[in-house]
Amino acid sequence: MKLQKITENVYYINDTTNIGVIRVNKENDVLIVDSGSDDSKGRRIIKILKENGFNLKYIINTHIHADHIGGNHYIQKHIPEVKIFSTRAEISMIENPIYMPYFLYSGAYPIKELRNKFLLAKPSKVTNIIDELLSDIIIENNKISLLPLDGHTEFQKGIAFENVLFCGDALISEELLEKHKIPVNVNIKNAKQTLLNLQNMNYDYYIPSHGTLLNNISTLAKENYKRIEEIEEKILNFLNTEKSTEKIISYMLYSYGLNINNATLYYLYNTTIMSFLSYLKEEKKITNIIKNNTVYWKML
C-alpha cells in the first residue's frame, strides 16, 4: 500500500482495493473513499495517512461489500470522532454486515464457509445519513459529487472531486475480467446502463477499485459491457431446450473454463448468473416454469 498523488487535493492508496483520499482543508484533514477489507487494512490506512501528514476525519464507502467497508470498524475504534457517511439504503449492511452472507445464501442463515472476512466485514456505526436524492454533499465547504453506479450492487455510487472519479466496482480491469470471466453484478439492466454512462463521462482521472489509475475509461467500460452481452448470448444459446437453474449455472462456469471449489466463489457466481436470468425474463426473452419440484428456464 502506497499513497499516490493525483491532483492538488486528491490521492489514492493503491492496494487490492484502492482507497481514495480527498484533502478537505488546509489542516490536512481527509475523507477516504472505501476502507479495505479488514482491521489490518484499516490499521495500514491510518499509518500511511499519518506518515504523510494527514488526519483521517471522514469515510464514505462506494458500496457495501466487505472489501470496501471492512476497515471502517478498526478506524472507528481507533479514531472515535471519524464520521462515516452512508445513504439510508446501505446503513443496514454497514452496521449489520452479516446480511451479506445471508443475501448470498438465499436469505437463510449462511453456512460457515460464507462467514469469512471476504464476505463478512466487522460492523461499523454510520454517523451521517446521505439523502438518496442528493447528487452532491458538502464536507467542509467542498462539494463532493455522488454518481449512481448501480449494478454491481443496487446502490453503488461513484465519488467525484477535482475531476477525479472513484468508480468502485462499476467495472473491473481487463486483467481481472480475464481472470474471473463473469463479473459480479446483482442487477444486469443497471450494470449495463452504468457502463454506457461511464463511456460518456469526461473526467480527467478514473480510479476503479480493482485496477489502475486511468485517464480514459471508455475502452474499459466497453470491454466490460461486451462481456455482459457475451454472457447473455451464451445463456440464450444454451436455452434452446429448457434447462434447470443448476444446469445453467454449471454450464456457464464450465463454458468459461471455471472449476469452482470454494463456497464464496460459487455463491458469488450463482448470484450473478441468477441476476442474468432475472434480467432476461424481464426483457421477455426467457421464462421460467416449475415442475417436478424443479425450476426450469426456456426461451420465449
Same domain, 159 and 274: no
Residues 241 and 201 in one domain: no
Domain end marker among 176, 204, 228 = 228
| Segment 130-188, tens digit of pLDDT | 988 789 999 999 999 999 999 999 999 999 999 999 999 999 999 999 999 999 999 99
Q: What is the pLDDT of residue 134?
A: 83
Looking at residue 132, its pLDDT comes to 83
Question: Are 51 and 75 members of one domain?
Answer: yes
User: For the chain, how many structural domains are there in total?
Assistant: 2
| Same domain, residue pair 140 and 256 | no
pLDDT per residue, tens digit, the chain (300 aa), is: 899 999 999 999 999 999 999 999 999 999 999 999 999 999 999 999 999 999 999 999 999 999 999 999 999 999 999 999 999 999 999 999 999 999 999 999 999 999 998 999 999 999 999 988 789 999 999 999 999 999 999 999 999 999 999 999 999 999 999 999 999 999 999 999 999 999 999 999 999 999 999 999 999 999 999 999 999 999 999 999 999 999 999 999 999 999 999 999 999 999 999 999 999 999 999 999 999 999 999 999
Same domain? 277 vs 199: no
Q: Mark whether 162 and 244 lie in a shared domain.
A: no
Q: Could you tell me if 251 and 121 lie in one domain?
A: no
Torsion, Cα 176 37 59 63, to 10 degrees, reads: 50
CATH number of the domain to which 269 belongs: 1.10.10.10
- Predicted confidence at residue 133, as pLDDT, reads 79
Asked if 114 contacts 268 with a C-beta cutoff of 8 angstroms, the reply is no
Chosen domain end from 182, 200, 228: 228
- At a CB cut-off of 8 Å and minimum separation 6, what does 72 contact? 35, 42, 59, 61, 84, 94, 121, 122, 124
Q: Are residues 214 and 241 in the same domain?
A: no
Strands 55-60, 29-33: pairing is parallel
- Provide the residue range defining the domain that includes 271: 229-299
Domain boundary among 203, 228, 253: 228
> The domain spanning residue 55 has which CATH number?
3.60.15.10
Segment holding 231, helix H or strand E: helix 218-238
Same domain, residue pair 99 and 138 = yes
Q: Are residues 150 and 243 in the same domain?
A: no
Element (H, E) at 128: strand 128-130
183-195 tens-digit pLDDT: 999 999 999 999 9
**Beta 294-299 vs 83-87: how paired, if at all?**
unpaired
Cell 436469505 sits at which residue? Answer: 107
Same domain as 142, residue 171: yes
Residues 115 and 186 in one domain: yes
